[in-house]
Amino acid sequence: MSRNTITDEDLRAYLAEHLPAPRMALIEQSLRDSEPLRRQLVTITRDNDQGGFSVGEVWRRGRLSCPTRGQLGAYLLQALDEGPREYIDFHLQTVGCRVCNANLADLQQASASAPEKQRRRRKYFESSAGYLRRD
Ligand SMILES: [Zn+2]
pLDDT per residue over 87-118, tens digit each?
Answer: 888 888 887 888 888 889 988 887 776 555 56
Neighbours of ion ligand 1 (CB under 5 A): 66, 97, 99-100
pLDDT per residue over 84-93, tens digit each?
Answer: 888 888 888 8
The band of 12, judged by pLDDT with boundaries at 50, 70 and 90, is confident
pLDDT per residue over 44-59, tens digit each?
Answer: 766 655 444 555 555 5
Say how far residue 119 (Cα) sits from the centre of its chain: 29
- Give the distance (Å) from ligand 1 centre to CA of residue 72: 10
- Helix, strand, coil shares of the chain, percent, nearest 5, are 75, 0, 25
Cα–Cα distance measured from residue 1 to residue 13, given in angstroms and rounded to the nearest whole number: 15
- Give the distance (Å) from ligand 1 centre to CA of residue 56: 14
